[in-house]
Amino acid sequence: MKLLIRMLVLSRYLTLNRQAREIRRIVQALPVTAQRAVGQLAMAEIQNAAKEPIPHLYGSENVDRYQPWGDAASQSFVKARSRVPQLKLRGIAMWLAVVYHETRDSQHRNLLDIHREVLGLLGLLKGTYAAGANTEIAIA
């Protein structure tokens, strides 16, 4: 059973890690005003999700109380890649909110790494880590 759980966690980590890299790329391509707007929208989505009985399933179409994750992250990721600006911003904010709650209390180190990535993106969007983000971009 532990092997199955590890494989599921690894699969989820690989999916979220790939999506996080793409979300970071999309966010860095946005103008600063759009980044701040996404930051505010993401914080509102995080608060809305926190009010739900099962926050990590916020925005999911197929809701089963005992699922470890829902389909909202993948739906939001598709929206974040859209060419429609409003849909793109909403997709980014929703992805950040869902993944934030999904990985927040994880007992698995890999998913906690994704949570730290989400926190870094939120800091970038709010303008908190702007100087560090520019240094990181210059190094890469």
Q: Is-above-0.95 flag for pTM?
A: no
Task: Please give the pLDDT value at position 13.
Answer: 93
E-only strand ranges, 1-140: none
Place of tokens 């005992």: 66
Mind listing the pLDDT tens digit for each residue in 48-103? 988 987 777 787 777 666 667 778 899 999 999 999 999 999 999 999 999 999 89
Mean pLDDT of 39-44: 93
**Which residues lie closer than 8 Å to 7 by C-beta, 6 or more apart?**
none
Using the predicted structure, report yes or no on whether residue 134 has a pLDDT greater than 80.
no
Q: Closest by alpha carbon to 102, among 41, 57, 44, 40?
A: 57
Coil, helix or strand at residue 82: coil
User: For the chain, which residues make up each domain, given as ranges?
Assistant: 2-139
Tokens of 53: 């009985």
